[in-house]
Structure 1
Amino acid sequence: MDFTECYGDTVSSVAVAARSGCRKRVRRLMKRGFSADCRDNRGWNALHEAAAAGSEECVQEILSAARGSPRGCAADVNSVTHGGESACYLAAQRGHLAVLRLLLKAHANINQLTHDLSCPLYAAVDGGHKQVVELLVSQGAEVDRTHTACCWTCLHQSVYKGHSEIVRILVDVCNLEALDDHKISPVFVAAQYGQQQCLEILVNAGASVSAQAADLATPLLIASQEGHQACVDFLLDHGADPNLACSREWPQLPIHAAAEFGHIGVLRRLIAVTDRVCDRGDGMVSPLYLAVYSHQSKSVEMLLKEGYSPDAQVRSRILGGRSPLSLALSRTSIDPCSESVRLLVAAGATLSEEDWIHALANVKTDLLQLILEHRWIPRQETLTRDCPVPTHHGKSVLKLQELRELLCVALNQVHFAVCWLPLLLKAGLEPSLLLQPRMLEQADSEVLNYLLEFVNWSNLSLPLKHILDGRRAEKTWEPRPHLDSIPCLSHICRLQVRSVLGPDLLMRTNVVQQLPVPAPLHVFLQFRDIPEATDTHSPPS
């Protein structure tokens, strides 16, 4: 405990005089028989007070008196407080150079440790007292002893505090690769706390830029994590390896740290020098996962812009994500259309069954609209062969597997069809793909009517007609009046136009405006005259 208040009933008169720097009063009191060795409740005596106050004259007076005492000077000059602090330590801690010279001349123990394992040199380093450090080093102070609970050396502490001039002194006499209890070197400390000047001094003196800590973290990793751009640049320029694995648990690289913490400048530099095997390599983890996990959309944007795959590794064992998009959706359940999700969808991220569930099993259609904004639904014939087209009208085309999973999820989420059905049909999905028993058995009456408007309802297969007949008998489906009749010729014609042009082009482009037909027919040909189904039964939440 640090007692800093003067307690009158325990502090000696000599100590009070020494604290005030009054040499004459100190001398007068000692001649009258007052002791300089009397201690207060901190264990401080007059010499401690004089040394801490930087009173050269009082120290000299007390030491002169001690030389005449039977015990001799050495016993007094090395006496310690209850915290183990000697007068030498207190003078060094406060930067009192002249006092320190007197104490060393009186044979003060230059390496005496306090109870918390500090020493005069460590205290001077911590306080940034350059001249005191120079004196102690020149007088043979131990420079590589470990101090504090974490076993830092004086070099560690000088770097941490950013005392570059003291670092210049110590690099000539200290072990540059000294390690603390976590095997952290002074270079690591400089990189961690952004002490660029200290880092340069250490490396130029020969310290290693790639020394790994106990957990395999490197100076480059920690500088990237903390966003110290100048330190990152210096380390890379001096041989730090950006592809050295920095974790025992997974192949973590500095680029992962930069992406996770959103340090864009650092990330840009690391992208240029990091092996791209981390993006798609087996057993690796794309930095995109870390950027998504920590909601660093700027990192996501930069990685995608620089060519990192929006799909990365499938089912990464780190963070539990099936893909970056699945991870992004799981991290933003309240707002599925987060910026990271938008970026990944726009970049053509592969949509899994899990992703389609997020889009379709919801009364909110924001995510589905986002997907359809950037993805093109292929024509029905692509279901029979896997011949992906990279882009269509500037949009990525849904792959065969993506389309199959879309249909599978849609048919399993019929209760939400009132939300997703109009969007999919207007985006060019072939409606016949949804004419499945599950759809006809479970769809709401109005949803079913809306779907039938996009097909030739008179040509349904017998099994499907039986389902409709059953629902009509059970009064769970009330068809619109014209659905009981044979489709009119105009409807048959527009179905034929849709078939020839393709539902994707008809519904999503201006191709209908180019047809040699009157403008009022454009709405009819694009099925925009059909009223959407109303939400008569709210989908389950």
Structure 2
Amino acid sequence: MRRGGMDFAECYQHTCSAVGLAAREGKTRLMRKLIQKGYSTDVSDNRGWNPLHEAAFHGSCECVRILIKTARSGGTHREYINSPAHDSATPLFLAAQQGHARVARALLHAGANANRVTDDDAGPLFAAVDGGHAEVVKLLLSNGAEVNRPQSVSGWTCLHQAVFKGHVEIVKFLVGVADVNATDDFGIPPIFVAAQYGQQQCVEILASAGANVSCQSHDLATPLLIASQEGHLTCVEALLDHGADPNLFCNEDKWQLPVHAAAEFGHVRVLERLLPLTGRECDRGRGKVSPVYSAVLRGQVETLRVLLREGFSPDAQECSTYGYSSPIAAALCSPLMSAESRSRTPGLVRALLEAGAHGDCGLYPSCVEQDLPYLLEPLLGRGGLPEGDHLAELVRTGLDHLHTAAVWLPTLLRAGLDPAPFLQEAFFEKAESSVLSYLLEFTNWRMLPQSLQHILCRRRAESTWIPLQQFDSVPSLCQLCRLALRDMLGSKALAQRGFVQRLPLPPLLHDFLLFTSCPLPTQPAPEQREYLGHGLDQLE
């Protein structure tokens, strides 16, 4: 090994020079001997670390002093003391990062630059703050470290980082010397960071020091909005106690207040805290968005119930922002919903209907399309039977979802829907045997068109349709009278809840008109039945 000067043969991956190893281990006597024998003090390893980096990182203060003294004798001590590693970290940065106050003091006394930054734009002060090293922070500031200069890739200041890490004592010190309203590249000040990460003590300190509690970032978000979104109740309370405005518009793309964020992310206690202080113009106001939509679109049943209990409308306003005519439409039709949120659709619909939401027969196809046919019954009670284009769309959708017809078809027919729209070849060809038989119970099966009768004959021969015994004969007089009476009453009357029971007829005839004796179709496959049953449980 050649002594003196730079010797690259001395540097291997994951190794350091002999002097560097002595510095790493704090062996001052060995270091002196090596230097006296002519070993170099500036040989770097694969990271670009020389012995001074090693000594500074490991807190070997005496080794640092020896290396500084040696560098002075060579006349290059300032360059040596500020020598950068491959990532531009200086010995002072490493000492600050590790919280070695004595080492940092020695380096500063020898002329270390307190504002030299790494490739990540972080200086020694930022490193000390990040590590929570209060003594080093104060030392660096007393030696000219710039406290307000952005010191990270995103433009955070040291105060941002202290708040992010929750170093309360350092935050208390920095608010006396730093700009408490300094913003990063996104217009975010330290109090926003405190609110986002649930640092309630830091929120209190910053607000008391003059931070703007109602500041808005470039996208108009406020600390109160982000705290509400993250569910940090103590931060929400602290911000409100210091005068934060809960009625500031907080989003460029979607009309949003903190209550929307709380509703969307399911933070019930935060929502309850915000509601008494929030204006109600967002409920049904033109151009606004009700927080009811926020809860519905994220499947948040509990926050939806809170909003409805506090008087928010279950119908809300038509929401052009999201493209829905009502909250129920959003619950049934939203492509924004995750699979988990969609599993909560029954609970959402039930809550809205219980609060008086109006049904919309245009939504019935969505119930079938989304494999939620059990929602048809409660919606029919509000919106009535479909007609015209709505009926045509429902029939088309039903033909595409015959796998759940055992649920939706009885619901529609018992509600009074005329079976005629389903008397189609496509239905007769594809419907499961018991579903097909159920439909025929509501018809004069001897009067079917020839094309449908041919399909029945063929399916019977193929054993894909097992007819009920009565289908082998002409309909009875009772059956024909039942059909005639239903036709005379009309579907709108039959659809009214309890209408048939109010007719001046014996109870037995009430049941007859309601087809209660007709066997229901065979339920869907086990896995589908389990899913449908889950939905019914939620509605009961």
Separation in 1, partners of 2:278, 2:510 = 53
Matched, 1:44 2:44: no
**Cα distance per residue 1:198-233 (max 9 Å; x no partner):** 111111100001111111111111111111111111
Instruction: Report the counterpart of residue 464 of structure 2 in structure 1.
Output: none
Deviation, structure 1 residue 36: 1.6
Contact 2:385/2:495 (8 A) holds in 1: no
Gapped regions of structure 1 (runs ≥ 5): 1-5, 376-397, 454-467
Matched, 1:185 2:171: no
Q: What is the correspondence of 1:417-496 to structure 2 with a 5 Å cutoff?
A: 423=411, 434=418, 450-451=441-442, 471=449, 481=474
Over 3 Å counting, the alpha-carbon distance change for 1:197 and 1:534 in structure 2 is: closer
Q: What is the correspondence of 1:356-375 to structure 2 with a 5 Å cutoff?
A: 356-359=364-367, 365-371=373-379, 375=381
Matched, 1:523 2:476: no
Deviation, structure 1 residue 114: 2.1
Contact 1:77/1:107 (8 A) holds in 2: yes
Matched, 1:197 2:201: yes
Separation in 2, partners of 1:19, 1:362 = 66
Over 3 Å counting, the alpha-carbon distance change for 1:249 and 1:359 in structure 2 is: closer
Matched, 1:347 2:350: no
Over 3 Å counting, the alpha-carbon distance change for 1:440 and 1:8 in structure 2 is: closer
Separation in 2, partners of 1:492, 1:76 = 104
Instruction: Report the counterpart of residue 228 of structure 2 in structure 1.
Output: 224
Instruction: Report the counterpart of residue 253 of structure 1 in structure 2.
Output: 257
**Cα distance per residue 1:240-288 (max 9 Å; x no partner):** 1111111122321111111111111112222222211111111011112
Deviation, structure 1 residue 106: 1.4
Separation in 2, partners of 1:491, 1:153 = 80
Over 3 Å counting, the alpha-carbon distance change for 1:158 and 1:414 in structure 2 is: closer
Q: Indicate which of 44, 48, 64 corresponds to 1:59.
A: 64
Separation in 2, partners of 1:168, 1:285 = 40
Q: Indicate which of 324, 327, 332 corresponds to 2:327.
A: 324
Contact 2:346/2:375 (8 A) holds in 1: no
Instruction: Report the counterpart of residue 268 of structure 1 in structure 2.
Output: 272
Separation in 2, partners of 1:352, 1:281 = 21
Deviation, structure 1 residue 35: 2.3
Matched, 1:158 2:157: no
Separation in 1, partners of 2:281, 2:247 = 10
Deviation, structure 1 residue 404: 6.5
Over 3 Å counting, the alpha-carbon distance change for 1:449 and 1:226 in structure 2 is: closer
**Cα distance per residue 1:288-318 (max 9 Å; x no partner):** 222222222222222222222121122x123
Q: Indicate which of 140, 148, 151 corresponds to 1:147.
A: 151
Separation in 1, partners of 2:77, 2:451 = 114
Separation in 1, partners of 2:173, 2:38 = 45
Separation in 1, partners of 2:301, 2:14 = 64
**Cα distance per residue 1:385-429 (max 9 Å; x no partner):** xxxxxxxxxxxxx4xxx33646764576568698667545755x5
Contact 2:229/2:258 (8 A) holds in 1: yes
Contact 2:332/2:367 (8 A) holds in 1: no
Deviation, structure 1 residue 179: 0.9
**Cα distance per residue 1:422-460 (max 9 Å; x no partner):** 545755x5x8xx49x86899998977875579xxxxxxx
Instruction: Report the counterpart of residue 298 of structure 1 in structure 2.
Output: 302
1:53 corresponds to which letter in structure 2? H
Contact 2:410/2:520 (8 A) holds in 1: no
Structure having the higher Rg: 1
Matched, 1:403 2:391: no
Q: Indicate which of 266, 285, 301 corresponds to 1:281.
A: 285
Determine helix, strand or coil for the equivalent of 1:108. Answer: coil
1:340 corresponds to which letter in structure 2? L
Separation in 2, partners of 1:159, 1:486 = 78
Identity of aligned residues (%): 43
Separation in 2, partners of 1:40, 1:85 = 14
1:274 corresponds to which letter in structure 2? T
Contact 2:13/2:45 (8 A) holds in 1: no
TM-score, length of structure 1 as denominator length: 0.76
Return 208-217 or 437-446, whichever deviates more.
Answer: 437-446
Instruction: Report the counterpart of residue 534 of structure 2 in structure 1.
Output: none
Over 3 Å counting, the alpha-carbon distance change for 1:426 and 1:407 in structure 2 is: farther
Deviation, structure 1 residue 506: 4.9
Separation in 2, partners of 1:164, 1:247 = 30
Over 3 Å counting, the alpha-carbon distance change for 1:493 and 1:203 in structure 2 is: closer
Q: What is the correspondence of 1:60-209 to structure 2 with a 5 Å cutoff?
A: 60-67=65-72, 69-71=73-75, 73-209=77-213
2:289 corresponds to which letter in structure 1? V
Deviation, structure 1 residue 350: 1.9
Over 3 Å counting, the alpha-carbon distance change for 1:365 and 1:61 in structure 2 is: closer
Contact 2:147/2:157 (8 A) holds in 1: yes
Determine helix, strand or coil for the equivalent of 1:527. Answer: helix
Gapped regions of structure 2 (runs ≥ 5): 1-10, 399-404, 429-435, 457-470, 525-540
**Cα distance per residue 1:304-337 (max 9 Å; x no partner):** 22222121122x1233222211121124898696
Separation in 2, partners of 1:362, 1:250 = 26
2:23 corresponds to which letter in structure 1? A
1:217 corresponds to which letter in structure 2? A
Separation in 2, partners of 1:363, 1:63 = 76
Over 3 Å counting, the alpha-carbon distance change for 1:338 and 1:40 in structure 2 is: same
TM-score, length of structure 2 as denominator length: 0.76
Separation in 2, partners of 1:422, 1:349 = 24
Determine helix, strand or coil for the equivalent of 1:262. Answer: coil
Separation in 2, partners of 1:474, 1:54 = 92
Deviation, structure 1 residue 70: 4.1
Contact 1:507/1:526 (8 A) holds in 2: no
Separation in 2, partners of 1:503, 1:353 = 13
C-alpha RMSD of matched pairs (Å): 4.1
Aligned length: 476
Separation in 2, partners of 1:469, 1:39 = 98
**Cα distance per residue 1:319-366 (max 9 Å; x no partner):** 322221112112489869632122223323222232133357899741
Contact 1:336/1:367 (8 A) holds in 2: no
Contact 1:359/1:367 (8 A) holds in 2: yes
Over 3 Å counting, the alpha-carbon distance change for 1:215 and 1:336 in structure 2 is: closer
Deviation, structure 1 residue 40: 2.4
Separation in 2, partners of 1:30, 1:345 = 85
